[in-house]
Chain A
């Protein structure tokens, strides 16, 4: 039953992407904010995220598998890898978005008597929302593609079709994996763009 498999694996794929993005965003946004307050950490943290991006995905799985807790075979290893990939765009955009807030607006907030916390929540984050969400969008679209590799270590998802199709030289199977992945990517791109526009105050 191909149709049924497509639905199941698509759901599994969405799960992998959803969980990875949730974790990546909840790590990268706060760390990005912290980096705007502690500029000296920037080189190290961005350096780490940069290196993570350059490691080829199959090699990253290879490194992760032997690790305790994070590694092994299965979904969680795939999720760890996807999170590591997604960090950089979100981190970078959080940083850029906040640092791009007009200095006169920031100074004006301080001059009106906002506390550091109010400055962050009422001025910096709202004005950086668009840029931060753009980072999340880029990371999500990339992750939808990368997540097809999860099948290589038993993580499931649409990659299962692609690996099976490659092994049996079956174009139908390849398409059964690739087309839904592409559709999800387009839908995610559009959807997040819409959210960006809705949430951004300016």
Chain B
């Protein structure tokens, strides 16, 4: 089967600055590809190329073998679940309206939307009776992230993009949500492209890992290759891992 997403020598230039350079990799159906990189390495920019929020200055991004430039930009966005860094929930929509947004834009009948919202809120651990009618400001950071994930799943998209979905959370909640995501992914069989600066998160969630450094791919491969890799940037990430982690892989 052909890959769901493929980057082919993609470059992005904003103003005079090259943000991504000669980026090539593929995301296979069913896998969770993690792009790991430090702040400013171009992770968010790379994600935005996938649902055509940004278009390449050179090269192309193919989704199901079709370049993003040849997709209907609105349609492509609606069939790609996107969990935005910092949440990006609509402050004037209730939790239910936030989660049900894309199905509503897609014209689903409202009973079907309601049922979908209810089931999703249950799946992300937010009992609808308690949370459906709240506004984002009435939620904790972790609860907002859960809503963000439910919203991205709402229209049952074949591909999920997750931009640091667990940033700015305490370690305990973070681990809890990471496991929730693993459960959801395994149960729903979703393909995911996840971006993070946390090497443990990359090893926990990624079936494969790409390391971005200054807009270039410094490494691409499986977990064990990642731990053996000698690239300088990858080794910088190794040092963030305690020794116990290395042994456990």
**Choice from A108, A113, A127, A201 contacting B88 with Cβ under 8 Å:** A108
In the complex, A167→B74 CA distance in Å? 67
Confirm or deny: B105 has a beta carbon within 8 angstroms of a beta carbon on chain A: yes
Known: A111-B84, A114-B105, A118-B105. A105 touches B90 (CB 8 A): yes
Q: Which residue of B86, B91, B151 has the most chain A CB atoms within 10 A of its CB atom? A: B91
Q: Is the CB of B90 within 8 A of A123?
A: yes
Chain A 110-127 interface residues, beta-carbon cutoff 8 Å to B: 110-115, 118, 123, 126-127
Chain B 57-95 interface residues, beta-carbon cutoff 8 Å to A: 74-78, 82, 84, 86, 88-92
- Closest CB-CB distance, B74 to chain A, in whole Å? 5
Q: Is the CB of A112 within 8 A of B91?
A: no
Q: Is the CB of A104 within 8 A of B84?
A: yes
Q: Which residues of B contact A114 (CB under 8 A)?
A: 74, 105
Q: Is the CB of B92 within 8 A of A201?
A: yes
Smallest CB gap from B154: residue in A: A112
Complex interface bits, B163-182 against A, C-beta within 8 A gives 1, otherwise 0: 00000000000000000000
Q: Which residues of A contact B74 (CB under 8 A)?
A: 113-115
- Closest CB-CB distance, B167 to chain A, in whole Å? 13
Q: Which residues of B contact A126 (CB under 8 A)?
A: 92
Smallest CB gap from B135: residue in A: A202
**Choice from A102, A113, A115, A127 contacting B102 with Cβ under 8 Å:** A113
Q: Which residues of A contact B92 (CB under 8 A)?
A: 123, 126-127, 201-202
Q: Which residues of A contact B137 (CB under 8 A)?
A: 202
Confirm or deny: A6 has a beta carbon within 8 angstroms of a beta carbon on chain B: no
Confirm or deny: B188 has a beta carbon within 8 angstroms of a beta carbon on chain A: no
In the complex, A104→B91 CA distance in Å? 11
Confirm or deny: B196 has a beta carbon within 8 angstroms of a beta carbon on chain A: no
In the complex, A171→B51 CA distance in Å? 71
- Closest CB-CB distance, A104 to chain B, in whole Å? 5
- Closest CB-CB distance, A130 to chain B, in whole Å? 11
Known: A113-B75, A202-B92. A104 touches B105 (CB 8 A): no
In the complex, A112→B78 CA distance in Å? 6
Confirm or deny: B11 has a beta carbon within 8 angstroms of a beta carbon on chain A: no
Smallest CB gap from A126: residue in B: B92
Complex interface bits, A53-65 against B, C-beta within 8 A gives 1, otherwise 0: 0000000000000
Q: Which residues of B contact A109 (CB under 8 A)?
A: 90
Q: Which residues of B contact A201 (CB under 8 A)?
A: 92
Q: Which residues of B contact A123 (CB under 8 A)?
A: 90, 92
Chain A 77-118 interface residues, beta-carbon cutoff 8 Å to B: 102, 104-105, 107-115, 118
Complex interface bits, B221-243 against A, C-beta within 8 A gives 1, otherwise 0: 00000000000000000000000
Confirm or deny: B101 has a beta carbon within 8 angstroms of a beta carbon on chain A: yes
Q: Which residues of B contact A (CB under 8 A)?
A: 51, 53, 74-78, 82, 84, 86, 88-92, 101-102, 105, 135, 137, 151
What are 20 A-B residue pairs whose CB atoms fall within 8 Å in the complex? A104-B86, A105-B88, A105-B91, A107-B84, A108-B84, A108-B88, A109-B90, A110-B53, A111-B82, A111-B84, A112-B102, A113-B76, A113-B105, A114-B105, A123-B90, A123-B92, A126-B92, A202-B91, A202-B92, A202-B135
**In the complex, given contacts A112-B101, A113-B76, what are 9 additional A-B residue pairs having Cβ atoms less than 8 angstroms apart?**
A102-B91, A104-B88, A105-B88, A107-B84, A108-B89, A113-B102, A115-B74, A126-B92, A201-B92
